[in-house]
Structure 1
Amino acid sequence: MELQQAPPRQTSTTRHDARREVVRHLDRLRPQVIMPARGFIRYPYCIPGGFYEQQWDWDGFFISCHLASRDPARPEYLKYWTLNVLNSVLPDGDVAACISTEGVRARLPSLRLKPFLAQGAELAGRLGGDDSWLVPHYDEIVRIVTRREASHRDAATGLYAWEDAMSSGADNNVAVTNDPEARRKMAAADVNAFQYREYEALSRLADRLGHAEDARRFATMASKLSAAMMKHLWSPDDVSFWTMDLRDGTWRRRVSYSNFVPLWAGLVPRVHAREMIRRYLWNADHLLSPHGLRSLSARDPDYNNVNMIDPHSNWQGPIWPIVNYFYFTALVRYGFADEAEELVDRLCRLYLDDIEFCGSLHENYDAETGRPLAPSADQSATGREGGFVGWNLLLQDMIEVVEGREHPLFI
């Protein structure tokens, strides 16, 4: 199967100008994501923007990663993110996905921390050149990262499951489902890839802190989880990962963004990853749109671009910048340089249209028209309010990568 042909390319001058214009606006918008310590939150923290004033788990992680890659680098925000998480552990040992100035679980109280803590802690120490602050927190980081083994790991397969789609962060992702009967039974590719990265990060951190036995143990756990994913979630015939329903061992064959997260994590042999990208990602019948890459295949019966934020956001088709960051990393990692550059240029046009529309950005976009969706501030009579900045800032990192910068986040 040939790769989907892209629209005519911009000239190099136009491309350069568009990228510089996007960077100029992101530089202007970036201060909106940084908040001073206040109330319950002890350290400065990162917010998505709009009406979101809380520290969210993966939002805060990826925003802090972006800040750590700036010139000058700001790795302290990964440290602050880590410490704010550690300072919010509940009496029962659980950790919430959302921390507000009023306390833990002030918004969406049932959501628990997604698997990013070890990655944030390890990266903060490494990029900041200082692991000393992590020494007194090491045991607690290990406890939190491995806590999921007792609650969300399937003993028979060795796979991890989400609580439900809402807990995955992709609120209505059809590859997971919010069906109460399927609670903790959807072993999706994304949660297992995130957990794999957690074990890798724990192994590196343990090694640096002098816990050699732990370093070997966590490296082994990462290796076993990778093998379990390839055994139980990878379909050689379909050339894709699928979610496994642990109740009966069947696959949910839905071409969703979550199936591609293992490519972001570097878990897939090159030959398989390249075919998966050709078959589903860079293919207009599935995920490729004129404005970026969809969160769900256009062929899926549930595919839509509904403008929704209540009771949850829509991950059933719209273009999400964070999703495109995962896709972009896969394109770069597996040798699709031209496609990665084309994706950057499509997203630059999308951003510039939105900035012209409202002066800022939105959480997601209609994959067919490029129209901004899900405003993240109180809508005015015109509906022109935007204000979501957050992990949308990662487009600047993507621009830097295609322009040849050695980038600390692409590890």
Structure 2
Amino acid sequence: MTERWKRLLETHIHERSVQMTREPSGILSHPYTVPSSPDSPYYSDALWDWDSWFISVALGQVELDTAQPGRFGAYEEGTIRNFLDHTDDDGVMPLLLKPDGPFLHGDPSRAGGFSQNMHKPVIAQQAALLARRRGSADWIRDGLPIIERFLTRYLESHVHEETGLAYWQTDFAIGVDNDPSVYYRPDRSTASVYLNSLLYRELLAYGSLLEDVDQVREANRWRGRAQDLADAATTHLWDERDGTFYSADLALRPIDHDDWLHRGAPRSWSSLLLRIDSWSSFLPMWAGIASQEQAERMRERLLDRRTFRANYGVRTLSRLEQQYSLRASNNPSNWLGPVWGVSNYLVFRGLLAYGFTDDARQLAEETVALFGRDLESTGSLHEFYHPDTGAPIMTRNFQNWNYLVLNMIAWLEDRPVAWEF
């Protein structure tokens, strides 16, 4: 059964991956990628931030499987250049671009106080994986100053001074849409473990790009910033009691030394842990922030069938959380328990990084079964799924990071794999 699903998925993805490519249109001067086929009602022409990064990872696997190196290179490079073209002088990069203009929520610019979310920190990672694939970063040399402006913007306007942790400006377009540690919470109040994991890898990726163009001193400076962020995450987001990482609440009143009520013993802590069991807690394993001892404790939590582990992978929220829900929703999409292809993939990668090969194999096989059953019965893949039955919940013909199952199949079969940076 599993072998049949593997071949079914490979054929489907190899044939349909081209449906995620688009030619230049409107303000998008370069070819680019989108999350779904042209008949999708939600994603047919929009260039999204972290979606396009994962699409590049999956397209790299298609190229490997079909012996067509560089087949999608123009679309992957064009995706990056479209975002760079629309990054302003202060480093604000849109999170979404459409042919008729960038999609903005509020004003993320200097005039708006940089008070809105922008592109997630994945653009350097996307460029680094393409540079690795091409064996050179020369193609992006002219774009490195723009990426640096973007990263500088993150470090200057998205980092909490007391903890050194990155935070979301608002709960809009954070990727994991309705994560309870961010959703409906006050602006600039959550140091998300998900965001800090992404930013850590982004800073490392930028360092790699700089080294590739022989700017070694600058490369090490950015790697030092990455280490500072990892140290902050370990200090403030790790919970020794529970043996996992959590997001942190930053919404504490400032210390007032003239306040008679508190001045005798002002707070000595700069944040409070938000003990909400989300799949994002496992991202420090993917990012490489966790120690081996921490990863071993996190693995125990991951394998608990009462909370995260399900028949078809990893629940995006622990079943024991009050907010746990499997309802169909779009804008926000539901990350309160359903299984997503991207969460299965990143947890799988984290397990591999720390040597938990048997667990990674089981998770990969469950993902193959999830998508194989869906494709066999409905003729398509969907955006997210019921964790126990594998039934699709919504968005038929969703492609995007679901196609990362192709990378899992290659790993299961001990073939070359196109990993993310």
> Does TM, normalized by the shorter one, top 0.5?
yes
How far has the Cα of 1:91 moved from its partner? 6.5
1:347 to 367, 385, 399: 367
Q: Does 1:391 align with 2:401?
A: yes
Where 2:248 maps in the other structure, the secondary structure is: strand
Report the counterpart of residue 252 of structure 1 in structure 2.
Answer: 274
The answer to whether the 8 Å contact 2:177/2:334 transfers is yes
Instruction: Indicate the SS of the match to 2:273.
Output: strand
CA distance in 1 between counterparts of 2:170 and 2:104 reads: 20
**Kindly, what percent of the aligned residue pairs are identical?**
31
In 2, are the aligned partners of 1:99 and 1:106 still within 8 Å (CA)?
no
What is the deviation of 1:111? Answer: 4.8
Does the CA contact (< 8 Å) of 1:166 and 1:178 recur in 2? no
Report the counterpart of residue 386 of structure 2 in structure 1.
Answer: 366
Question: Counterparts of 1:89-168 in structure 2 under 5 Å?
Answer: 89-90=87-88, 93-105=91-103, 111-168=117-174
Deviations 1:20-79 (CA, angstroms, capped at 9, x unpaired)? 222122223212211122221112211111221211000011101221233223444432
Tell me, yes or no, if structure 1 residue 284 matches structure 2 residue 305. yes
Aligned residue identity for 1:390: N
- How far apart are residue 344 of structure 1 and its match? 2.0
- Among residues 62, 78, 81, which one is paired with 2:79 in the alignment? 81
| Secondary structure class of the residue paired with 1:168 | coil
Q: 1:93, CA displacement in angstroms?
A: 4.2
Matched AA of 1:272: Q
How far off its partner does 1:322 sit? 0.6
Residues 334-378 of structure 1: CA deviation (Å, up to 9, x unaligned): 222222222222222221232234321111011232221222xxx
- Is contact 1:235–1:241 with CA below 8 Å preserved after alignment? yes
Once residues 89 and 135 of structure 2 are traced to their aligned partners in structure 1, the CA distance between those partners, rounded to angstroms, is 32
Per-residue displacement from partner, 1:278-310 (whole Å, max 9, x unpaired)? 22x12211111112211000111110100111x
Q: What SS does the aligned partner of 2:339 have?
A: coil
> 2-side partners of 1:107 and 1:25: how far apart?
36
Inter-partner Cα distance in structure 1 for 2:104 and 2:298: 40
Structure 2, unmatched stretches of 5+, are 108-115, 253-270
**Partner AA of 1:373 in structure 2:** I
Distance 1:108 1:261 in 2: 29
CA deviations over 1:313-349 (Å, ceiling 9, x no partner): 1010000101111111012112222222222222222
Change (3 A) 1:106 1:253: closer
Question: For residues 308 and 414 of structure 2, what CA distance do their matches in structure 1 show?
Answer: 26
Paired residue for 2:189, among 185, 190, 193?
185
Go from structure 1 to structure 2 and tell me whether the alpha carbon gap of 1:196 and 1:106 turns closer, same or farther (over 3 Å shift).
closer
Q: For the residues of structure 1 that align with 2:287 and 2:308, how far apart are their CA atoms? A: 19
Q: What is the root-mean-square deviation in Å for CA atoms of aligned residues?
A: 1.9
Say whether residues 1:26 and 2:13 are aligned partners.
yes
Residue correspondences, number: 384
SS at match of 1:73: coil
User: Which segment is superposed worse, 71-80 or 283-292?
Assistant: 71-80
Amino acid at match of 2:305: A
Q: 1:155 is paired with a residue of what secondary structure? A: coil
Superposition TM-score, scaled by structure 1 size: 0.89
Query: Quick check: 1:264–1:327 contact (8 Å CA) kept in 2?
Result: yes
Match of 1:298 in 2: 319
1:3 corresponds in structure 2 to: none
Q: Could you tell me how far apart the structure 1 residues matched to 2:104 and 2:166 are?
A: 27
Q: TM-score, normalised by structure 2?
A: 0.86
